[in-house]
Amino acid sequence: MRIFSLLSLALATHSPPIQIRIQPTELIVQSVNGAATPRDAELDFGDLPMNSLARGIELKGKSFSEENSFLVPENLRPREIRLRDVDPRTKIRFAPYSVTILRFRKR
């Protein structure tokens, strides 16, 4: 139910809402794209020293109403993401109907 409410929120905006949490050793970027089209975003880390590799998890569907069930338990599965060549201004494309969590390690 929580993902559904996040996707509903994302449908009301023009770009995917992005939440950034700063931890002692990493930045965590969370995004929900409830639109039928991919959404681009640019993250500007400024002077923060970041590693050139980031990792994350993406959960995406073919439509807004797609869900797992007992008959089709793996309809929606998390997929591991790796971003290479991360620089202070990194462009990211969020898939349609997706929830994405990325972890950027600080140096």
The domain segmentation of the chain, as residue ranges, is 2-106
**Which residues partner with 104 through β-bridges?**
27, 54
The alpha carbon of residue 94 and the mean position of all alpha carbons in its chain are separated, in whole angstroms, by 6
Rounded to whole angstroms, the Cα distance separating 32 from 9 reads 9
Report percent pLDDT > 70 for the chain.
85
Query: Does the pLDDT at position 57 exceed 90?
Result: yes
| Average model confidence (pLDDT) across the chain | 82
Q: What angle do CA 77, 68, 102 make, to 5 degrees?
A: 30
CA dihedral 40, 48, 52, 57 (to 10 degrees): -50
DSSP class of residue 22? E
**pTM: predicted TM-score of the whole model, two decimal places:** 0.78
**CATH number of the structural domain 2-106:** 2.60.40.1180
pLDDT of residue 16: 64
